[in-house]
Homo-oligomer: A and B are copies of this chain.
Amino acid sequence: MERLNAERIRLGMVGGGAGAFIGAVHRMAARLDDHFELVAGAFASDPARSQSSGAALGLDPARVYDDYTAMAGREARLKDGIEAVAIVTPNHLHAEIAKAFLRRGIHVICDKPLTATLKEAKALAKAVDKGPGRLFLTHNYSATPMVRQAREMVAEGVLGDIRLVQVEYAQDWLAEPLEDTGHKQAAWRTDPAQSGPGGATGDIGTHAFQLARFVTGLELEGLSADLASFVPGRALDDTAHVLMRYQGGARGTLWVSQVATGAENGLQLRVYGAKGGLSWRQEDPNVLWHTPLGQPMQRITRGGAGSGVAAAAVSRIPPGHPEGYLEAFGALYTEIAAALRDPEAAHLVPGIAAGLEGVAFVDACVRSSARNAAWVKLNL
């Protein structure tokens, strides 16, 4: 995983000024395996805040911007301008920013969800099609070694035909009206203007949806969603209960909530096939439980017996030495680096298609719920 015999890729960042959680995550992820070097950024639209953030990070002031358009333009012209940009702003800004860089041939590493609205997502998909920049979406959980292991086992037929898919993502940080206290993360996530029409559905539902999709490979036939908001005055859903029907006959539920008191970051996937079942929990990420029908349940650990090449490809240290959230995020960055260095290389990093599906999932949930949980299809 560590960079060996290669140059660092020059990276820029839009968003992620001082105090932002996800910006720092992207930087740590980019550094872990050493494939990137942060050299430019538009960390905030306020010039002073952007400059002070850039200075704190040790960047050349000339490459700290308050305007992403200016940044895209200048960096594209520089001889040693950025090759890729990480977009870590609220959702409603993703599309425009991404397009500004893509059309200049600067590759985009975009936080999820792809965009705030399906319309934006479709427009962005067109922009990606045009290129020349490529787009990568940081569904970080999909780069967790044991998620890769699960995907590999499903693909190899270890579970037989998939029958049931139960995915959930429970948090409790919005159990109270945190958005009314000046909490920035809470404020934009509960604001339709910045998040789009989905609240928890967009913020964590897209992760849950993508995880199930990534591991099982199953496409959605239709869904029936019942969205709810439990905190008075909250404009967006903080909870979604969804019946899922997959093509080929598998069924299941997806439920997500940000008011599930006691839950921290409870993303969990359980898949049951005709020949066996798998279970994975994000909070215990180094373990994948596998039950071959008629055999004892097996605890497959990252790097341990039964853990295969797909897991090893995104793993750094021996079994029993826990890797975590940042390592998976870092693996995604490392795969992106490999993909950028060799445009022909096969890779598993989610891209525009996954991003579009995610936003279409949110759109479908909102449409279904508005019609009292009617069955709807993804509008792709």
Chain A residues in the interface with B (C-beta under 8 A): 2-8, 18, 21, 24-25, 27-28, 31-34, 55-58, 159, 163-164, 166, 168, 171-173, 175-176, 224, 226, 228, 230, 239, 241, 243-245, 249, 251-253, 255, 257, 259-266, 270, 272-277, 279, 282-286, 289-291, 293-301, 304-306, 316-327, 372-373, 375
* Bound-state Cα–Cα, A111 to B47, Å: 44
Which residue from B25, B171, B253, B273 sits with its C-beta under 8 Å from A241? B253
**Given A224-B373, A226-B245, A324-B324, A21 and B317 contact (CB-CB distance below 8 Å):** yes
Which residues on B sit within 8 Å (CB–CB) of A286?
283, 324
Contacts of A31 in B (CB 8 A): 31-32, 34
Candidates B262, B272, B327; contact of A324 at CB < 8 Å: B327
Q: List 24 A-B contacts (CB under 8 A).
A: A2-B24, A4-B57, A5-B55, A21-B317, A172-B277, A228-B251, A241-B244, A253-B253, A260-B272, A261-B274, A261-B275, A262-B291, A263-B272, A290-B296, A294-B305, A296-B298, A296-B301, A296-B305, A297-B299, A297-B301, A317-B326, A322-B322, A323-B326, A373-B373
Q: Which chain B residues lie closer than 8 Å to A301 at the CB level?
A: 264, 296-297
Least Cβ–Cβ distance between A278 and chain B, in angstroms: 8
Question: Which residues of chain B have C-beta atoms less than 8 A from A173's C-beta?
Answer: 318
Contact at B293–A261, with CB atoms within 8 Å?
yes
Q: Which residues of B lie under 8 Å from residue A21 when comparing CB positions?
A: 317-318
Determine which of B172, B230, B262, B275 lies in contact with A289 in the assembled complex, contact meaning CB atoms within 8 Å. Answer: B262
CB-based nearest B residue for A224:
B373
Shortest distance from the beta carbon of A107 to any chain B beta carbon, whole Å: 21
In the docked arrangement, what's the CA distance between A319 and B266, Å?
10
Q: A4-B56, A317-B25 are in contact. Are A260 and B277 (CB under 8 A)?
A: yes
CB distance from A185 to the nearest CB of B (A): 10
- Cα–Cα distance between A162 and B264 once the two chains are bound (Å): 18
- Other-chain residue from B253, B293, B297, B299 in contact with A255 (beta carbon distance below 8 A): B253
Specify which chain B residues have a CB less than 8 angstroms from the CB of A261 in the assembled complex.
159, 272-277, 291, 293
Q: Are B324 and A323 in contact (CB under 8 A)?
A: yes
Closest 7 CB pairs of A and B: A264-B320, A262-B291, A265-B320, A262-B277, A322-B324, A324-B324, A4-B56
* Interchain CA distance A279-B268 in the complex, whole Å: 15
Is the pair B265, A279 in contact by a Cβ cutoff of 8 Å? no
Q: Once the chains bind, are B325 and A325 in contact (CB under 8 Å)?
A: no
Beta-carbon contact of B164 and A259 below 8 Å:
yes
- Given A263-B277, A290-B296, A296-B306, 19 more pairs with CB closer than 8 A: A3-B58, A27-B34, A28-B33, A31-B31, A31-B34, A163-B259, A166-B168, A230-B249, A243-B373, A262-B276, A262-B297, A266-B320, A282-B320, A283-B286, A294-B305, A317-B326, A323-B324, A323-B325, A373-B375
